[in-house]
Amino acid sequence: MSLSMITPEFLIERNLERCIKCQVCVRQCANEAHRYDAETDTLSCDDLACVGCHRCVTLCPTKALTIRKFPLEFRTNANWTPDAIKAIYKQAETGGILLTGMGNDKPYPIYWDHLLLNASQVTNPSIDPLREPMEVKTFLGRKPEALEIKDGKLKTKLPPQLELDVPVMFSAMSFGSISLNAVKSLAAAAREAGTFFNTGEGGLHQDLYEYGENAIVQVASGRFGVHYEYLNAGAAIEIKIGQGAKPGIGGHLPGEKVGKEVSETRMIPEGSDALSPAPHHDIYSIEDLRQLIYSLKEATRYEKPVAVKIAAVHNVAAIASGIARAGADIITIDGFRGGTGATPLCTRDNVGIPIELALAAVDSRLRSESIRHQVSLVIAGSVRNSADVMKAIALGADAVYIGSAALLALGCHMCQKCYTGKCNWGIATQDPNLVKRLNPEIGARRAANLLRAWKHEIKEMLGGMGINALESLRGNRLMLRGVGLTEKELEILGVKAAGE
Amino acid sequence: MAVIDAQGVYYKELNQQIHELINKGETYIKVINVNGQRYIGDGLPEGIKLELIGTPGNDLAAYMNGAEIIVRGNAQDGTANTMSAGTLVVHGKSGDVTGYAMRGGKVFIKGDVGYRVGIHMKEYKDMVPVMVVGGSAGSFFGEYMAGGRMIVLGLTGSSHLVGDYCGTGMHGGVIYLRGEVPEYKLGKEVRMEQLTDEDKNFVAAYVNEFASYFNYSAEEILDHKFTKLIPYNTRPYGKLYTHY
């Protein structure tokens, strides 16, 4: 074997005074970074195997372990960073496409952090949500041109709507990319919080049909697990055109991850690759998209909203306009920071645009064409906290999807190794020994807690603005001010600079 | 049997009429003067029979779930899209992406079919979709095919059985051809093989069924050399990636 130039990313330090040789670290590390030698009764570490997931650190009973960045310095070079150099070593050794997980981690601008929310002072007094009602209920779906009300009753027949008690849903994450216990956690949390989880393109496992009322079922180019019962099991259907972590390319679940249960859910043989190519091969135009939207509406007898999910790309506003005109009830836009179980590094870090700009551009475009009411806008691709939710809604979103944040609630530590199938936290894995580390009841509680906390915070911030209904914040960009942004960025975002 | 006249009826109303009849307990519906209406038979369950006189539009029998549809005319694009179960018999041609992601049931087309037919066809355990094409197929036949069986008979006198890039990206399932295909027309993921006895029995059973629908002699059709196409492996993209 030729010399490998790959050096560790992390350094494992064991405090021998604290270590009691219980070997929890050895048993917990699926990457085999810790080893025990029975003959010498010693523990050793393989720094190269460590992914920095903190499983051992968290579970070590005597807190004997520390993980830090491996202190190996290349000669300082602002252009050839250690990451850029190491990527070349890996490709020179393997000739492969660099595969990574989660979302874009490069230091591009995060526009949420350049937007500030308003609050009331003196005039238009703020509201205390603890003693006054605050309405955060959200309805997703096509809205009629006008409402006819007679004798106090609504006469207009409304198109199908999704009713959300909190404007946050769990993003499309397939069973396959994440474990069944992870999907169960999110499904149960969605039910408790009065919101929705999204199946991703992996079908709906039999155990999850009971959560159908809180499920959005996805139809992607590979059509995995798509059949009549599946389409009718969910509350809505989402056509996946693209996702923020890999705009323009398809999905690919490697055969190693297609075990018995995944095979049953996707309805493909065990061990076979599940290929979702980049395009739907029956969609080459807005008219073709319309055909798929309406074939799904026909198959579900017009009883469910149909969403279309796209990645935020350069021409997103025009595309969204086309999707609205194609008959979609909901448009989901996933920004370039959106996460994933596996994506080529080159695509993840270089393709797409920030969701904040995409959202503002789409909302403005649909308004200018007087078709904003025809669709609801849901955004994804990195919403990190309740303030991001508020800013998204003020920019024009009806609701948001959270993926990475939801997985963090379940215990994800952002090591970005989802694609290896060795997730030590039982989330992005199909290994039964790892999957059982995530208790779905505890997972559900944690994910529901997150939504509960955010809902309270949203009410607090709304109250601070003197607003008592989320609907009054929706698309209300006067509640936002920009800091550290150029004229052009402010123009696209449609917000004034702080101080104006 | 109930009869619906589809003359000048928009697809949405036509499909609604069909669904209303089914809801009332009707199991055999004949639709006359069909002229391009889309989505006919979408998601229809077992026990329902539709006879369509004319030319149904795109996405005929999409997500169909056990019903039987007979078309006395040609079908258009997206026929049997993501169909789960049932039988579709077309006494004519069928257009592009016929059988897209089909995962069960049987489709018999008397004439030719368009491009990308059988793309993403899948199978799982006893759910094995089967399509028999009486005529010839366009390019990208069986693209990304992951399971199921397709038979091309070439009975319409076309100079080719299949177009270019046949079986590109194929990683499961079997294509049976009545005759041979020049190597250059095949996707790089597939190879040609001789039929085993099991294959021959399979083909004979479906050719018999095909012949019974369209008044052909099964013996005459079967009295010909068949070849089969299968993928080299089920993991065409197994070694594409390296871990970052």
**A424, part of any domain:** yes
pTM (2 d.p.): 0.95
Q: Residue B210 pLDDT more than 90?
A: yes
- For residue A305, how many C-alpha atoms fall within 13 Å in the half-sphere facing its CB? 28
CA distance B33 to chain A (A): 21
Mean pLDDT of all residues in A224-252: 93
Question: Does A222 sit within 8 Å of B147, measured CB to CB?
Answer: no
Residues of chain A in contact with residue B119, where contact means CB-CB under 8 angstroms, are: 281
Indicate the residue of B77, B116, B234 with minimum beta-carbon distance to A255: B234
**A112, part of any domain:** no
**A50, part of any domain:** yes
pLDDT tier at B244, thresholds 50, 70, 90: confident
Question: Does B171 sit within 8 Å of A277, measured CB to CB?
Answer: no
Question: Does A226 sit within 8 Å of B235, measured CB to CB?
Answer: no
- Whether the CB of B126 is below 8 Å from some CB of chain A: the reply is no
**A131, part of any domain:** no
State what percent of residues in chain A have pLDDT above 90: 90
Say if CB B34 and CB B55 are below 8 A apart: yes
- A80 and A210 co-located in one domain: no
Residues of chain A in contact with residue B58, where contact means CB-CB under 8 angstroms, are: 291
Q: Give per-residue pLDDT as tens, B73-123.
A: 999 999 999 999 999 999 999 999 999 999 999 999 999 999 999 999 999
**A128, part of any domain:** no
Residues of chain B in contact with residue A84, where contact means CB-CB under 8 angstroms, are: none
Q: Which two tokens stand for residue A22?
A: 């219980």
Question: Does A272 sit within 8 Å of B101, measured CB to CB?
Answer: no
| pLDDT at B243 (0 to 100) | 84
Residue at a domain's end among A72, A96, A120: A96
- A89 and A154 co-located in one domain: no
Indicate the residue of A264, A282, A294 with minimum beta-carbon distance to B39: A294
Question: Does A267 sit within 8 Å of B45, measured CB to CB?
Answer: no
Mean pLDDT of all residues in A176-187: 96
- A29 and A155 co-located in one domain: no
Topology of domain B2-231, CATH: Pectate Lyase C-like (2.160.20)
| pLDDT at B238 (0 to 100) | 67
Q: How far is B16 from A297, CA to CA, in rounded Å? A: 12
Partners of A13 in the β-ladder? A66
Mean pLDDT of all residues in A127-142: 95
Residue at a domain's end among A69, A96, A123: A96
Which residue, among A31, A223, A276, would best test binding to B if mutated, counting the most B CBs under 10 Å from its CB? A223
Residues of chain A in contact with residue B171, where contact means CB-CB under 8 angstroms, are: 272-273, 275
- Whether the CB of B17 is below 8 Å from some CB of chain A: the reply is no
Question: Does A228 sit within 8 Å of B63, measured CB to CB?
Answer: yes
Which residue, among A85, A270, A287, A298, would best test binding to B if mutated, counting the most B CBs under 10 Å from its CB? A298
Q: Residue A197 pLDDT more than 70?
A: yes
Q: Give per-residue pLDDT as tens, A378-425.
A: 999 999 999 999 999 999 999 999 999 999 999 999 999 999 999 999
pLDDT tier at A259, thresholds 50, 70, 90: confident
- Whether the CB of A94 is below 8 Å from some CB of chain B: the reply is yes
State what percent of residues in chain B have pLDDT above 90: 92
Q: Give per-residue pLDDT as tens, A271-288.
A: 887 878 888 888 999 999
Question: Does B234 sit within 8 Å of A228, measured CB to CB?
Answer: no
Q: Give per-residue pLDDT as tens, A59-89.
A: 999 999 999 999 999 999 999 999 999 999 9
- Return mean pLDDT, chain A: 95
**A122, part of any domain:** no
Q: Residue A255 pLDDT more than 60?
A: yes
Residue at a domain's end among A39, A70, A96: A96
What pairing do the DSSP bridges indicate for beta strands B190-193 and B172-178?
Answer: unpaired
| pLDDT at B159 (0 to 100) | 87
- Whether the CB of B82 is below 8 Å from some CB of chain A: the reply is yes
**Counting Cβ atoms within 10 Å, is residue B65 exposed (0-12), middle (13-18) or buried (19+)?**
buried
- A282 and A384 co-located in one domain: yes
Question: Does A268 sit within 8 Å of B147, measured CB to CB?
Answer: yes
pLDDT tier at B236, thresholds 50, 70, 90: low
Partners of A140 in the β-ladder? A162
- A146 and A92 co-located in one domain: no
**A297, part of any domain:** yes
CA distance A222 to chain B (A): 7
Q: Residue B237 pLDDT more than 80?
A: no
Q: Residue A1 pLDDT more than 60?
A: no
* Domain boundaries defined on chain B: 2-231
- A86 and A187 co-located in one domain: no
Structural domains in chain A (count) = 2
User: For position A378, which CATH number holds?
Assistant: 3.20.20.70
E strand or H helix at B177, and its extent? strand B172-178
* Backbone φ and ψ of A259, nearest 5°: -85, -165
* Backbone φ and ψ of A359, nearest 5°: -60, -50
**A441, part of any domain:** yes
Q: Give per-residue pLDDT as tens, A199-222.
A: 998 899 999 999 999 999 999 998
- A21 and A164 co-located in one domain: no
What DSSP letter does each residue of A9-61 carry, written as one string? SEEEEE-TTT-----HHHHH-TT--EEEETTTTEEEE-GGG-----HHHHH-T
- Whether the CB of B156 is below 8 Å from some CB of chain A: the reply is no
| pLDDT at A251 (0 to 100) | 77
Q: Give per-residue pLDDT as tens, A297-341.
A: 999 999 999 999 999 999 999 999 999 999 999 999 999 999 999
Q: Give per-residue pLDDT as tens, B132-151.
A: 999 999 999 999 999 999 99
- Whether the CB of B62 is below 8 Å from some CB of chain A: the reply is yes
Contacts with B, A 284-313, CB within 8 Å: 291, 294-295, 298-301
- Whether the CB of B189 is below 8 Å from some CB of chain A: the reply is no
Q: How far is A477 from A103, CA to CA, in rounded Å? A: 27
**Host domain of residue A88:** 10-96
Q: Give per-residue pLDDT as tens, A15-70.
A: 999 999 999 999 999 999 999 999 999 999 999 999 999 999 999 999 999 999 99
- Return mean pLDDT, chain B: 95
- A144 and A198 co-located in one domain: yes
Q: Which two tokens stand for residue A224?
A: 């995995």
CA distance B198 to chain A (A): 21
Strand order, beta sheet including A496-497: A115-117, A480-482, A496-497
- A142 and A87 co-located in one domain: no
Q: How far is A483 from A460, CA to CA, in rounded Å? A: 23
